[in-house]
Structure 1
Amino acid sequence: MASKPKKKAVPVTIGGVLIVVVLLVIRALGGPDLLSSPSTTSEQATSQRAVRVDPPAPSAVHEAPARDSAPVAQAEADDGPWPEPVAADHSEDEIRRLIDNQISGEMVELSAVVVKVLPDDDEGDRHQRFLLKLNSGGTILVAHNLDLAPRVPVHEGDTPTIFGQYEYNDRGGVLHWTHHAPRNNRQGGWIELDGKRYE
């Protein structure tokens, strides 16, 4: 009786699969690439680590910069490839264009009156919420991330200036990303009220 040759099976362990998954997740979240060859010099590794900056504590309240300078001057000083903020006197027109064309994802600057302060949204990242009234009609929700920036002491009737990312919805839209960029990988936003900038 001839015996059949045994097939060699590659043992797949849960631990091995788990290690690969963890390495891929670390890489996807911006961590070091632990799967590539170790030919990276220590200088390259140091420069890669230097780009990652720990986010500042959410107590980033600063004196607001003087409003004399035009947004163009601010954009020229910035080395980022980001669009310049919309000038405050044209901000309503820009918001109206985004609403009318159902456009999302653009960074805009807006000064408007707070008509309602809403309860915080505590699901997931905590957000301070309030509604701004547009002169052209309608409202926009501001969702300010309290895990990344300090609370703004805003009340109904206040007129904050907000620089953030606009997202369209059928109720007028949302301004979010009103805080610093925690990984310095994009342009941050802010809210100014009574001469103080909250970012």
Structure 2
Amino acid sequence: MCYGKCARCIGHALAWLGVLCIVANVLLYFPNGETKFASDHRLSRFVWFFAGIVGGGLLMFLPASVFIGLEEEDCCGCCGHDNCGKSCAMLSSVLAALVGIAGSGYCVIVAALGLAEGPLCQNTQGQWNYTFASTEGQYLLDRDSWSQCIEPKHIVEWNVSLFSILLALGGIEFILCLVQVINGMLGGICGFCCSRQQQYDC
């Protein structure tokens, strides 16, 4: 197995996942395509934590770019030997993977909290509040209770869908970055590739 090719695949996957996280987070600002709720600050507070834009999105582009470039990276002169370069580069990718773990972990935590608290909405009494905050997430299993939110329309479905997407995407990013931590350590210790023709002697 070539550790560099594995890292490159992970990098491409992270880049696409990062884009999807940004899109999902941006959509949270516009329930039903309307902008007035964002301008009036009548959205869930967790929407403003930028979990998908920063954590699962922008922060993910750093490890993605590092992983994609690993196959060509040789980090010349590492350990005092030119032929140890690729091993050195693989070990350095572990640091980038840790950044990805932090970003994706932030995305997962905020999305989970957003799901548990529920949306800010106008209830049947005309009050704006977190109608489901006291249910500790149990409202997710009781779709009949979602009708308590009358404005924005379908806001519960909107929040549940998008926060669930962010939770899933962030979870996948977390796993991929964790895989790269292992891949990078193995690649650095064993050599860039496992082929007999490309052994590195530090």
More strand by share: 1
Higher-RCO chain (CA-CA 8 Å, sequence separation at least 6): 2
More helix by share: 2
Q: TM-score range by the shorter chain?
A: under 0.3
